[in-house]
Chain A
């Protein structure tokens, strides 16, 4: 921090207050603490894993039933059974990452505002948004990530090994798929933190979380299903205004749909996703800081 070293500080003290390494260490400490907390109640942890896995299995069951009656989601959209399972696995990967890292914090944030506990977060010598966003991790949500990876591997194996027209994967997907997963997580994170930051103005707003659920609900399906009639308005809104539709669609499409032929709009859409992710992050940062300016402490 200061040019003059503080004699009282140890070697691990204030000198490390800057730089990414410091933030990384803090994240690791948060992760460790959360894991310790989760492991204190092991049965509870296991039950939570089982419960989130059961919900996902139920979803698989539903689509297995659907695909026993129909051969794809939409005519000639290319979302056949295993393509759609890749899509679903992608949804879970993104959602489980958001649920592991950000959802518990967003919930906590509203509570901190209501109780005035945010004072202590503001006092800490670290970026407040960073502190608020990463404090807690819900490790049990990662069980869904495991399930998603299994489903993804299984579906991809099916797609690449089918007798007719097997899917060919380009090695660049190893770079692009994780990149677009990260973009998706960034967009959803921005939405979460923006929604919870508004509780500074609104006091406490539980319906916001319902709102969050209902908005992300739109992101769970291939965007082609909206591209008709008055669905175009929905498609436009959730692609360009609140870009939740690109969160899953872009990475899933890159992975599950054949390289040739790519529709003309796919690469522009992919480019747009990166821009949307960056803009969402910036917008959430702006909203967060504006909200902090309006924060009046409570009950201290």
Chain B
């Protein structure tokens, strides 16, 4: 019993230290961080004007005096959608994670995790949590500013508590899903030394099919149905669609279940790939 307690407390202590180191590392460049985040909203400005112009030339249904809508999105909805995907991406994007894993494998840094009582995936996850925490602590201000300035675009107001809690849950899950998908890609490095072209393909599909570029509802069939079956949509489209009420209320829990299933799949895939990869791995030199 006491052995288990000491084991657990030392584990927690390790996690805490890893987290704290990563946090301190991240907060060194906070000025650059805040400025960079604010600049990342600049393309939204052009997006607003672009969609404004596009909506002007969307044909309205004859005789209906309704506001123009494109696949169910009004112009304010569209802007709100882009803002919400930015928020989703703030959770799910993992810059440099997969390439970092592949580099550690290629350069033999993985040795470190074989000799020390620290697990690679655990260490990376904590590092990312710290990264995101540091990011939000600085980025909340520009995010809040932009959302406040753009509050007029959220024409249907805040969703109810139930939808909102599912929305927050999907955001947190999108972080984990994004993390484990990228780790799996990086672990491919055990088999191929150079994974940059694979990562590029992933990035391309991610950008296009996660809903970062446009609401996935705009896709023509069969693509529209196809993206429902791949997990990329949870990284950007899905949280935004929940917030905007595009997903029927009774489907919310079901969708959450599917997302959890995907997450479990990728957690196990990462574990399995890491275990198999270590068997193949050979480190030379000091």
A10 lies within 8 A of chain B by Cβ? no
A69 lies within 8 A of chain B by Cβ? yes
Report yes or no: A69 in contact with B71, Cβ–Cβ below 8 A. Answer: yes
CB neighbours of A211 from chain B (8 A): 39
B59 lies within 8 A of chain A by Cβ? yes
B2 lies within 8 A of chain A by Cβ? no
Bound Cα distance from A234 to B180, whole angstroms: 41
CB distance from B219 to the nearest CB of A (A): 7
In the complex formed, the residue of B with least CB distance to A72 is B57
Bound Cα distance from A151 to B204, whole angstroms: 21
A45 lies within 8 A of chain B by Cβ? no
Bound Cα distance from A71 to B219, whole angstroms: 16
B53 lies within 8 A of chain A by Cβ? yes
CB neighbours of A71 from chain B (8 A): 57, 59
CB neighbours of A62 from chain B (8 A): 208, 213-214
Report yes or no: B208 in contact with A75, Cβ–Cβ below 8 A. Answer: no
CB neighbours of A77 from chain B (8 A): 53
A5 lies within 8 A of chain B by Cβ? no
CB distance from A52 to the nearest CB of B (A): 10
Contact of A225 among B39, B52, B208 (CB under 8 A): B52
CB distance from A96 to the nearest CB of B (A): 18
B36 lies within 8 A of chain A by Cβ? yes
Report yes or no: A210 in contact with B39, Cβ–Cβ below 8 A. Answer: yes
Interface locus among B42-50, B95-103, B252-260, B263-271: B42-50
B220 lies within 8 A of chain A by Cβ? yes
Contact string, A58-75, partner B, CB cutoff 8 A, digits 1/0? 100110011011111111
B70 lies within 8 A of chain A by Cβ? yes
Tell me whether A75 and B70 are in contact in the complex, defined as CB-CB below 8 angstroms, given that A214-B43, A217-B46, A221-B49 are known contacts: no
B200 lies within 8 A of chain A by Cβ? yes
Report yes or no: B56 in contact with A214, Cβ–Cβ below 8 A. Answer: no
Interface residues in A, total, Cβ within 8 A: 33
Report yes or no: A73 in contact with B50, Cβ–Cβ below 8 A. Answer: yes
Which label, helix, strand, loop or mixed, suits the secondary structure of the B interface? helix
In the complex formed, the residue of B with least CB distance to A228 is B52
B116 lies within 8 A of chain A by Cβ? no
Bound Cα distance from A225 to B70, whole angstroms: 18
CB neighbours of A218 from chain B (8 A): 46
Interface residues on B, range: 20 to 34
Report yes or no: A70 in contact with B214, Cβ–Cβ below 8 A. Answer: no
Bound Cα distance from A66 to B56, whole angstroms: 13
A272 lies within 8 A of chain B by Cβ? no
CB neighbours of B58 from chain A (8 A): 69-70
Report yes or no: A47 in contact with B208, Cβ–Cβ below 8 A. Answer: no
B160 lies within 8 A of chain A by Cβ? no
Contact string, B215-243, partner A, CB cutoff 8 A, digits 1/0? 00011100000000000000000000000
Contact string, B256-286, partner A, CB cutoff 8 A, digits 1/0? 0000000000000000000000000000000
Bound Cα distance from A67 to B35, whole angstroms: 35
Which residues in window 89-112 of A have CB below 8 A to B? Answer: none
Interfacial residues, chain B to chain A (CB-CB below 8 A): 32, 35-36, 39, 42-43, 45-46, 49-50, 52-59, 70-71, 197, 200, 204, 207-208, 213-214, 218-220
Question: Can you list 28 A-B contacts (CB < 8 A)?
Answer: A51-B197, A62-B213, A65-B218, A65-B219, A66-B218, A68-B220, A69-B70, A69-B218, A70-B54, A72-B57, A74-B53, A75-B53, A75-B56, A77-B53, A207-B35, A207-B36, A207-B39, A210-B39, A214-B39, A217-B42, A220-B46, A221-B46, A222-B53, A225-B52, A225-B53, A228-B52, A231-B49, A234-B45
Q: A73-B54, A214-B39, A228-B52 are in contact. List 5 more A-B contacts (CB 8 A).
A: A58-B208, A69-B218, A70-B55, A73-B53, A217-B43
Interfacial residues, chain A to chain B (CB-CB below 8 A): 47, 51, 54-55, 58, 61-62, 65-66, 68-75, 77, 207, 210-211, 214, 217-218, 220-222, 224-226, 228, 231, 234
The 4 closest A-B pairs by CB, nearest first: A74-B53, A75-B56, A225-B53, A214-B42
